[in-house]
Amino acid sequence: MENLALIDSFSEFKDDKLIDRVTLMSILEDVFRNALKRKYGDDDNFDIIINPDKGDLEIWRNRVVVADGEVEEPNQEISLSDAQKIESDYEIGEDVAEEVKLIDLGRRSILALRQNLISKIQEHDNTNIFKYFKELEGEIYTAEVHHIRHRAIILLDDDGNELILPKEKQIPSDFFRKGDNVRGIIESVELKGNKPSIVMSRTHPKFLEKLFEQEIPEVFDGLINVKKVVRIPGEKAKVAVDSYDDRIDPVGACVGMKGSRIHGIVRELGNENIDVINYTTNTQLFITRALSPAKVTSIKINEETKRAEVILKPEEVSKAIGRGGHNIRLAGYLTGYEIDVLREGAEEDVELSEFGDEIEGWIIKEFEKIGLDTAKSILENSLAELVKRTDLEEETIQEVLNILKKEFEE
């Protein structure tokens, strides 16, 4: 039979797409049966023989011989005289197997058939890609920058699969050029239409957890367990670790001598400041450790409201709060408690909210953002320090300082 371009391309499909022989045969038969249904109305009486390795295909149409003039179903029956043109000794009631040439399907049908074949193979590929990456969700993956867009970076892996790294899932200090290798975790995999959408993230806490697993042998081997990770990407992170072996210091093992082990992780995350903390089920102790490097004087916990009042010496307050309030916020995320910082001698202090008649609410909120929620907590800082730590104008801060000083002068 005519070995048309469609048949010649079978082997190409198999080689290019790495489809196994059984799957390719199944796809080919399905495509040809659809073409036969369109041409003849039914495909039940057709045999399709495929050899994808050689690019060979045979289609045989089976019909029953009936007397001349008695053909009611042309696809199922053949007249005696037509059957005897194929072989002269056919008789009524016998089965006739006649080869169908591809050219008999018509040029338009052949073109549609080829397009259908390509579509089916692409659909098969996309399904396999989806399944492959779905199993990799939450795992670290590396791909190369292919195209940089305003809101996302398009990556390609070694097999040519496309991944998306959205702007909001990049660390603020990330800067990539075309051709750079990028590491992140596979955060989500979805089928959009028939095409898989693979989203990578470098900001997800899981990325930091997996970096610990890659870089620290004891974590990889399961000797140290990463209990929880919280992050403000590119700024600060806290990682609670635990060990099943009392002889292993989990924090020391993760950090390494002079930070040697964690240095690579910090560099990967754009110099994100990482605090590694010993996990404990003792809530008071865990909150104390979470507020490191500040030294806590005492803690009062309300289990019903999940709040913790932490008393610190005045000089420890800024350490507990951290730059931009990052330390106290992450300590809250890590422990699951809303943490209120109080200074020793706070009974002589006055809540900033008490000055609502003299200080506008939005100004009070600006101070609260950096953990300064009482009069004395603000007065303990210099004007220059307050200008540096808040987004307020110097004139505004000076006005607030004057109001607060009057309170204690009286």
Across residues 385-401, what is the average pLDDT?
Answer: 89
pLDDT reading at 343 higher than 90: no
Which amino acid would we find at residue 236? K
Say which residue, 297 or 6, is predicted with more confidence.
Answer: 297
Domain 346-409 is found in CATH 3.40.30: no
State residue 22's pLDDT score.
66
The reply to whether 136-203 and 219-343 are identical in fold is no
pLDDT tens-place string over residues 329-341? 999 999 999 998 8
| C-alpha to C-alpha distance for 187 and 118, rounded to whole angstroms | 30
Residue whose pair of structure tokens reads 């049908």 in the numeric block: 109
pLDDT reading at 1 higher than 50: no
Where in the chain are the domains? Answer: 5-126, 136-203, 219-343, 346-409
Which CATH superfamily hosts domain 219-343? Answer: K homology (KH) domain (3.30.300.20)
CATH code for the structural domain at 5-126? 3.30.1480
pLDDT tens-place string over residues 195-230? 899 999 999 999 999 999 999 999 999 999 999 999
pLDDT tens-place string over residues 265-281? 999 999 999 999 999 99
CATH code for the structural domain at 136-203? 2.40.50.140
Q: b/e per residue, 305-326, with b = 16+ CB within 10 A?
A: eeebebbbeeebbbebbbeebb
State residue 3's pLDDT score.
41
Across residues 84-89, what is the average pLDDT?
Answer: 84
| C-alpha to C-alpha distance for 176 and 202, rounded to whole angstroms | 13
pLDDT reading at 55 higher than 80: no
Say which residue, 245 or 24, is predicted with more confidence.
Answer: 245
